[in-house]
Amino acid sequence: MSIEKKKYECSALPKGWQREEVIRKSGLSAGKVDVYYYSPNGKKFRSKPQLARYLGDALDLATFDFRSGKINSLLLRKNKKQRGTQFDYSRGVRNDASLVPPIRQTASIFKQPVTVYKTQEGKVKTDFKHGQQEKPKQLFWEKRD
DNA sequence: GCCACCGGTGGC
DNA sequence: GCCACCGGTGGC
């Protein structure tokens, strides 16, 4: 059947991430479009908070519009409650700018695989459905040519 | 048991 | 009233 389902690369995200639109075909909400994302290793994401938890500090989603899959600077103003653990990057901090948000989303700036470790910040909510803590994981891959 | 899918609602 | 988010479950 021709259920509209499309899964494409998402340009606003690092290489390998895909965005999918699924149109609901029945029920009261028939016609509504659900948006999902898939990490390079195939994990499915249903919401921006879920994405943010997974990406941690590796990518700043502040201007990322989950629904459209694009960067929308208007989100900066209307931002919801931010965790207190935000770092003020605008001061004269000397950092390796390429590794610290905000990260340019257009280019593949990671020259090597990036591994993110879950740190012991905010307590994760009690979701033990999967029985184990997430292991360190590779979030993106280098483009090969 | 998993997961794709629609329902329900909290927060705006 | 809308809609982002996520709960719950039917169907496999």
Q: How far apart are CA A77 and CA A127, in angstroms?
A: 31
Given this model, what pLDDT does residue A4 score?
Answer: 61
Given this model, what pLDDT does residue A66 score?
Answer: 94
Residues 86-145 of A with CB under 7 A from strand B: none
Output the six-digit token pair for A134.
């997430």
The Å distance, CA of A63 to C1' of C5, is 18
Given this model, what pLDDT does residue A67 score?
Answer: 94
Convert the pLDDT of each residue in A43-65 to its tens digit: 999 999 999 999 888 888 788 99
Mean pLDDT throughout A127-133?
45
Given this model, what pLDDT does residue A142 score?
Answer: 59
What separation in angstroms does the CA of A92 have from each of A51, A82, A87, A88, A103? 29, 22, 12, 9, 17
Q: What domains lie within chain A, and their CATH numbers? A: 4-83 (3.30.890.10)
The Å distance, CA of A63 to C1' of C4, is 16
Q: Does residue A28 approach strand B to less than 7 Å at its CB?
A: yes
Element holding A65 (H helix, E strand): strand A64-65
| Contact between A101 and A14 (Cβ < 8 Å) | no
Given this model, what pLDDT does residue A1 score?
Answer: 44
Lowest average pLDDT, out of A25-34, A53-62, A111-120, goes to A111-120
Q: Does residue A50 approach strand C to less than 7 Å at its CB?
A: yes
Given this model, what pLDDT does residue A46 score?
Answer: 97
**Better pLDDT: A141 or A115:** A141
| Contact between A70 and A85 (Cβ < 8 Å) | no
pTM above 0.85, yes or no: no
Output the six-digit token pair for A98.
């390429």
The Å distance, CA of A92 to C1' of C9, is 52
Confidence of residue A40 (pLDDT cuts 50, 70, 90): very high
Mean pLDDT of chain A: 68
Mean pLDDT throughout A1-17?
72
Angle formed at CA A51 by CA A129 and CA A112, multiple of 5 degrees: 110
